[in-house]
Chains A and B, each alone.
Chain A
Amino acid sequence: MKIRICYGKTETGSYLSHLDLARTMERSLRRAKAPLAFSEGFNPHPKLSFASALAVGTTGCREYLDVDLASRLNVKAFSQALEKALPPALAFVAAEEIRENSKSLSAIINLAVYRVRVAVKPEDEDKVIPGVEKVLAASELWRKPKEKPGKKTIPAKEVRGLIRQIAVIQGPEAAAKTYELEMVLGLSTDGQLRPQELWEMIAAAGDFEAAPPLAVCRRALLIEQGGKRFAPMEGVRD
């Protein structure tokens, strides 16, 4: 039996690396008495497959994980047990059985919705919306090459196609001068754009200085198919 779990990553959890998350999830599943299926071999490990990893520091409202089980279980009882078993870094949202031959999460999820809270200097207050408009009006946008000491340089990349929507949800708030932006970004095996990078592009287009975002939350991971958008849990019932 295969099960799909939807969970949240709280502020504490946002600092977990992907490996920390996998370890924490395995322990939680064990505490919830999930009959985990294990890989064969020298060092058996449970078969967990996560949707695209979150950057460190980013919280997540609806993250996903598929788990292979060795025997059947009652999903409702298991959901209650898992909710109790998760540590403060993680929050339970839902669990559903999925077909054995379901495609992997990374193969089907192609959109991510982010909320990004940013602060701007008072004199730049009026530059944010024009920056957003310029980015959306551009026909192509290039991400700068990334150089890291000791690592291979990631070449520049055209990313306009990954930017689906940017909405200014709120702001600027009178006192704090903060904006809240919603960004809908394409996800593909070919590449993805981080919300921080898009914020820098907006700042560059609006000609102001981008301070690192105050908070970033991935609100949803979606499947876009034939012009419609589904949550990964919705596809389960077909």
Chain B
Amino acid sequence: MKDCIERVKPYLQQVVKPQRYLGGELNEIKKDWDSVQCRFLFGFPDVYDVGMSHLGLQILYEAVNRRPGLLMERTFSPWLDMEAIMISQGIPLYALESGRPAGDFDCIGFTLQHEMSYTNVLQMLKLAGIPYWAKDRSDRDPLIIAGGPCVANVEPLAPFLDAVVVGEGEELLPELLEVIGRHKAERRGAVDKPRLLEELAALEGIYIPTLKGPVIKKARLKDLDEAIFSLTPLVPYIEVVHDRMMVEVLRGCTRGCRFCQAGMIYRPVRERSKETLLAQARALRDNTGHNEIALTSLSSSDHTCIKEIVEGLTAEFNKEMISISLPSLRANHFSVSLAEEIQKVRRTGFTFAPEAGSQRMRDVINKGVTEEALLATVTKAVSAGWQQIKLYFMIGLPGETMEDVEAIAGLCEKVVYAGTKVMKEQGRKGSLRVTCAVSNFVPKAQTPFQWVGQASQEELKARQRRLKELIKDRRITYNYHDAFTSMLEAIFARGGRELAPVLAAAVEKGCHFDSWTEELRRDSWRQAFEELGMDMEALATRNFDLNSPLPWDHLNYGVSKGFLMYEYNRAQGEMISGDCRYQGCNGCGVCSFTVGDAEENSARGRRKIGENILYGEAVDQ
């Protein structure tokens, strides 16, 4: 039977959240299989509820399906209960729209959001009955491709992939699929894979792991305002991680935090205009019925017209009881005013990311936030009524000492005291609650810290323990990340193709859903590395020589290696670098990336500075 949805139905009473496996949501697109030239299956290597919160999926669903010759359907990792049923009943991985087996599609594309999802990619191919090594696949198997932020260093997965989308996919992916469709049409439905891969390699932004060639320049949108955006996104029935409408207010960030991969690979900064955003928000409200809208980006309060956008949205949406959320706010007064404006419907906690406890360390990572600014922001937020603050930190940063770690506890205490003082003054009961969330630094490709090894497991655990000893205040909740998971992330974030056999071995030992802590099979991972003669700790902690080639040198995200080195050196000198939107150009190279853009970007830059002066506070340096 072709329709796998019919085949899983008898077992739905035995699994949690059966709706994950049925599709049929509002705004689902079901296209006629035979009316298109290329059928694409988007694979999200995690469960439905995680994948359906991903904005990229919604954008690509629109970008591909709006083309008459193409079709896109969705598939997610089945959770372990359903996976066991599918294996025992011989039901392959299938698409939610048509119920067809994944193997029926011309192309399957996986999004690589984080390293811990890699095993799920392989596991999904296994469930589909498709060989995961690219060399083992025939011309009749679907073409397996990938995209997303982890492509910044895709080498550990390269031997499993036929083609890789480098950079922004909403224009490039449909183009790639059109090439596949034409290729098949010319050959009456057949595929000549070596020829097809050569044809794909001609597209800018497509990396073919089996072809040696010049450096691949990332694909990028020139104008976010005119970019494809889905105004009729899929609306899940079950609760998903982020159950809300999303508008993307801007893309890219030039704050220049030295650990941040997104801040490097999504440059330059491109804004969507207020008019477009408001029109999109209205359409989303009418087409989804969600009661919350999120203004997403790497740093939404950096939009030059954010105040007007927020005012425009609140004026229309507050009376309809639609709340507005602004993730990733910077610690400044302006953020508190924005938050006050938007949280009239439902009030949530306030979250900031100082990332490091000491000023010295914040200078090393170029996080342009001072303790004074943070405390002033907290004071303002608490006087505006908030009583919960969440602070994000990292430990194991390059050059970090135990004193720097201890400063995290100190800063949290200062925040508690400052906030509680305000509450007392206002005659409010209780005290400020602070959550101190500490993650472990993972060096990432295409960042100024790409050459630096991760702190050893022993060091990370010692620093975690030290914080636990120091944070005794009951008003502070301390939580921290699993050091083993961070080590795996570090290994894959900077590893080469030699890691592919490790991934395969781990999957064969049952590893997948590694980001679900209770499913992480530490012993199987250790065995997989040992059997291949690799030392996990050594891989994670190794420093790369500044002059030696890196596994990702052949991918060009626009930010030059020279700039990354320059920033690395400045980090060692504890020197901060300004944001080029408000201060001088740092020469990252992205503006001269495409001929003709430099002038346009500098013109945009001037306009932005002008608008920022209008609101004064937007510049928080």
Chain A, range 55-98, C-beta contacts under 8 Å to B: 56-57, 85, 87-89
Within 8 Å by CB of A44, from B24, B26, B237, B346, lies: B346
Q: What would be 17 A-B contacts, judged by CB atoms less than 8 Å apart?
A: A16-B237, A20-B239, A23-B239, A26-B289, A26-B291, A27-B288, A27-B290, A30-B290, A30-B291, A30-B320, A31-B287, A31-B288, A31-B289, A44-B346, A85-B289, A87-B26, A88-B25
Q: Mark B158-181, 1 if CB is under 8 A from A, else 0.
A: 000000000000000000000000
B12-20, B255-263, B268-276, B593-601: which one contacts chain A? B12-20
B190 contacts chain A at the CB level, 8 A cutoff: no
Interface hits, A84-129 → B, CB 8 Å: 85, 87-89
Nearest CB in chain B: distance from A230 CB, A: 31
Closest B residue to A214 using CB positions: B10
Closest Cβ–Cβ distance, residue A46 to chain B (whole Å): 8
Interface size class of A (residues with CB under 8 A): 20 to 34
Q: CA of A199 to CA of B584 in the docked complex: distance in angstroms?
A: 77
Q: Given A20-B239, A27-B235, A27-B288, decide whether A42 and B24 contact each other with a Cβ distance below 8 A.
A: no
- Kindly identify which residue among A15, A31, A88 contacts B12, using a CB–CB cutoff of 8 Å: A15
Please classify how large the interface on chain B is, using the bins under 10, 10 to 19, 20 to 34, 35 or more: 20 to 34
Chain A residue with the shortest CB-CB distance to B287: A31
A87 touches B12 (CB 8 A): no
Considering only residues 289-338 of chain B, those with a C-beta below 8 Å from chain A are 289-291, 320-321
Q: Is the CB of B18 within 8 A of A56?
A: yes
Which are the 7 A-B pairs with shortest beta-carbon distances?
A27-B289, A30-B289, A87-B26, A12-B24, A31-B289, A15-B18, A88-B24
Chain A residues near B12: list those with CB within 8 A.
15, 57
Do B321 and A44 touch (CB < 8 A)?
yes
Residues of chain B touching chain A, judged by Cβ–Cβ distance below 8 Å, are 12-13, 18-19, 22, 24-26, 28, 235, 237-239, 243, 285-291, 320-321, 345-347
Asked whether, in the complex, the Cβ of B237 is within 8 Å of the Cβ of A28, the reply is no
A 144-160 to B, binary, CB cutoff 8 A, 1 in contact else 0 = 00000000000000000
A27 to B19, CA, bound (A): 17
How long is the Cα–Cα vector from A26 to B287 in the complex, in angstroms?
13
- B-side contacts of A89, CB under 8 Å: 24, 237
Please determine whether A87 and B235 come into contact, CB atoms closer than 8 angstroms.
yes
| A15 to B8 Cα, complex, angstroms | 13
Q: Measured between alpha carbons, how far is A152 from B26 in the docked complex, in Å?
A: 38
Within 8 A of B (CB), among A179-234: 212
Compute how far the CA of A27 lies from the CA of B289 in the bound complex, rounded to whole angstroms: 4
Q: A11-28: contact bitstring with B at CB < 8 Å (1 yes, 0 no)?
A: 011011101100110111
Known contacts A30-B289, A57-B12; is A87 also within 8 Å of B25 by CB? Answer: yes
Residues of A within 8 A of B287 (CB): 31
Distance of A89 Cα from B28 Cα, bound (Å): 12
**Chain A hits for B345, CB < 8 A:** 44
Chain A residues near B285 (CB-CB < 8 A): 30
The interface residues of chain B lying within 8 Å CB-to-CB of A38 are 321
With both chains docked as a complex, state the minimum distance between the C-beta of B512 and any C-beta of chain A, in angstroms.
25
